[in-house]
Amino acid sequence: MGGWVRFGEQTRVYFSERQSEVMREIVAFIDPALEYRPEGSIPFEAFVRAGIVSGSIDRYTSDDLVKGRIGNTPVSISEVHAEEVTVYRDSDGDTHESWKTLFRGLFFISEFNKHFKGSTYALSDDAERRFGTLGRAVQSWGGPGELVLLEDPEFESEFVVYSSDQQEARYILTPALMRRMLELRLKSEQRVQFSFVGAAVHVAIPAEGELFEPSVLKGVGDREVLRRYHDLLRLAVSVVEEFSLNTRIWSKS
């Protein structure tokens, strides 16, 4: 039995090492200025500061960090899993825990070229698509700030925007920027969430399962696994390109 345990541990270590090698190659291919750190993470405080996830985060994990610069823009990209626990008693009086996933996927932070006075959120929206004008009424009932109404029906069919500063929200969400955000939302086919808080833009891209854990049976060389790695990372990195952060149009105040 001991031999099998040692064999299993050696196999796990081998695939972990090979996974790291492959990930580093993929990240370097996307941009040599980026570095893959398998044990690295985005701090819990930074994730909370983004304000994208509602609910009490009782368990948080982050790993497979990609960090560096795209041009002059510092970026951090990591796999994140945030969960909330509910404690309840059954009919026998025994205590149980039920865990709910609040977010699981890629979380991306990039420095924006302005310190925002307020906080602005663009959240993927189902209400208006499903219920039309009634959906807009539902949106106004509550959110992280005041509901911001914009003059882009296509954008508003996919996102609902809240902000603590209506004027700044409209300054941030130019027609060109809304178009880039909409393209990213449709390209990813996920409920992408954005926030503009402090001096950073945050993007959360949901994904199921362990993003960077290849199946041992398939092996790290499986083309579909490698393609999945590349597409997810490329999508996250493209946020900088979509937002044109390197233009440095705004100066920090």
Half-sphere exposure of 19 (CA within 13 A, CB side): 21
- Please tell me the predicted confidence (pLDDT) of residue 151: 86
Tokens of 84: 């909330």
Asked whether residue 2 carries a pLDDT value surpassing 70, the answer given is no
Q: Choose between 73 and 243: higher pLDDT.
A: 73
Neighbours of 17 (CB within 10 A): 12
Compute the average pLDDT of residues 205-218: 60
Q: Which of 13-17, 105-109, 200-204 has the lowest mean pLDDT?
A: 13-17
Q: Choose between 246 and 227: higher pLDDT.
A: 227
3-state SS class at 232: helix
- Please tell me the predicted confidence (pLDDT) of residue 145: 85
Half-sphere exposure of 210 (CA within 13 A, CB side): 9
Of 40-44, 129-133, 151-155, which one has max mean pLDDT?
Answer: 40-44
Neighbours of 24 (CB within 10 A): 16
Mean pLDDT of the chain: 78
- pLDDT band for 101, please (50, 70, 90 cuts): very high
- pLDDT band for 133, please (50, 70, 90 cuts): very low
Q: Choose between 156 and 144: higher pLDDT.
A: 156
Asked whether residue 50 carries a pLDDT value surpassing 80, the answer given is yes
- Please tell me the predicted confidence (pLDDT) of residue 160: 93
Taking the C-alpha atoms of residue 109 and residue 69, their distance in angstroms, rounded to an integer, is 11
- Please tell me the predicted confidence (pLDDT) of residue 197: 93
Question: Are 171 and 161 within 8 A, CB to CB?
Answer: no
Compute the average pLDDT of residues 171-195: 86
Asked whether residue 251 carries a pLDDT value surpassing 80, the answer given is no
Residue 233 CB partners (closer than 8 Å, separation 6+): 26, 27, 30, 66, 77
Taking the C-alpha atoms of residue 52 and residue 122, their distance in angstroms, rounded to an integer, is 9
Question: Are 63 and 215 within 8 A, CB to CB?
Answer: no
Tokens of 45: 């405080």
